[in-house]
Amino acid sequence: MDLLVSTGWLESELGASDLRVIDSTLFLPGSGRNARREYEAEHIPGALFMDLDEIVDSDSPLPHMVPPQHKFASRMQSLGLADGQRLVVYDNSPLHSSARAWWMLRLFGAREVAILDGGLAKWKAEGRPLESGNPALRRGHFTARLDRAAVADKAFVAGALEEGGWEIADARPASRFAGEDPEPRPGLRPGHIPGSKCLPQSTLFDADNSWKRGDALGSAFADAGVDLGKPLVATCGSGITAAVLVFGAHLLGKEDVKLYDGSWSEWGADPDTPKATGRA
C-alpha cells in the first residue's frame, strides 16, 4: 500500500481477509468529546477502535508515552491484529491522531500501514457506508519489535540543542508555541524549546481534511523555516500531533526523523530545561 490511501480505494477493499481498518480518534483533555462513544455510534464498517489514551506506558507520569513492547503486542493481539496484515488507520479528530497510530504501529514493526486520506470526515461527506456498535474480535498474533532509534527523549533533545545540526519542529498551534495561550494540562510553563520551529500540524492539510502533497506539503515545512536537509525531531504537547509532522516528512521521502515522546508535557514541566516564548 501507499502511505496514504483514498476513501474510494478503501471502500473497494473492505472485507478483504488481510485488511484491518482502525479508528484511532483521540481528543484533547477538556474537549467534551468521547472518542470511544463516537466510534460506537458510527464508524467505517469492520473498523476496530485503538484507544490511544490507554495504549501507553502506565508507569510513566507523562501522558501518551510509548508503552512497553509486551503491552503493545498484547493490545494489538486483543484487537485481532496479526503479522502480515494490511492496516489502514483513520480518525475523526482535529488532532489528526491517526498519525500517532501509524507511527506506533511502524515503531513496533508493522510495515503495511497506511492512513486514510481525509479520515472519517471525508468518508462521511462522500456518503460512504457506516456501521455502529462493536465488532466481534478474535485474538491475533502480532509480533512487536520496538525501534528505539525512532524515539527521542529529553536528554537527546537537550544534546541536539547543544550540538546543533538538528531541526526541531513543534506541531502545536502558534499561540501555544508562543506562550500566549495556556497548555491544556496543568503544571506546564508556557512557550517552546529554544530554537525550535513552529509548524502547526493543521497547516499540513487542505480544506477538505486531505493531506497536502508534493510542493504544497514541502512549502508548509519551508514556510515554517524547517530545513528538511537536516535530521528532524518532531515535538508537540504529548507526542500525538508530533506524529503528524513525522508522517508529513515521510510523505516527502524523509526518513531521518525522530519523535520526542515526552514533548512539552515533559519539557515544560521541568524547571531546569530552557524555555522560550514569542513567535519569532
Q: Tell me which residues are annotated as active site.
A: 236
197 - beta bridge partners? Answer: 169
Torsion angle of C-alpha atoms 119, 259, 87, 51, degrees rounded to 10: -70
235 - beta bridge partners? Answer: 170
Torsion angle of C-alpha atoms 126, 206, 197, 167, degrees rounded to 10: 80
SS (HEC) of 39-64: HHHCECCCCEECCCCCCCCCCCCCCC
156 in Cβ contact with 163 (< 8 Å)? no
| Spatial CB neighbours of 62, under 8 Å, sequence gap ≥ 6 | 238, 262, 265, 266
- Characterize the bridge pairing of strands 48-49 and 167-170: unpaired
Taking the C-alpha atoms of residue 1 and residue 258, their distance in angstroms, rounded to an integer, is 23
244 in Cβ contact with 96 (< 8 Å)? yes
Taking the C-alpha atoms of residue 203 and residue 192, their distance in angstroms, rounded to an integer, is 18
| Grid cell listed for 22 | 482502525
